[in-house]
Structure 1
Amino acid sequence: MAARRWSRQVTERSNALDLEDHVFALDDPAEIARSLKRSAERSARRKATPFRSAMSMLSFYINRAGRNLPAERRARLEAAKAELRRAFGRE
Structure 2
Amino acid sequence: MNEAETRAEHIDPALKAAGWGVVEGSRIHREYSITPGRVEGAGRRGKAITADYVLVYRNTKLAVADLGRPDEIGQVFAGFQKYLYQQQAAA
TM category (shorter chain) comes to 0.3 to 0.5
TM-score of the superposed pair, with normalisation by structure 1: 0.41
Instruction: Identify the structure with the greater helix proportion.
Output: 1
Instruction: Identify the structure with the greater strand proportion.
Output: 2
- Larger C-alpha radius of gyration, 1 or 2? 2
TM-score of the superposed pair, with normalisation by structure 2: 0.41
Higher RCO (Cα < 8 Å, 6 or more apart): 1
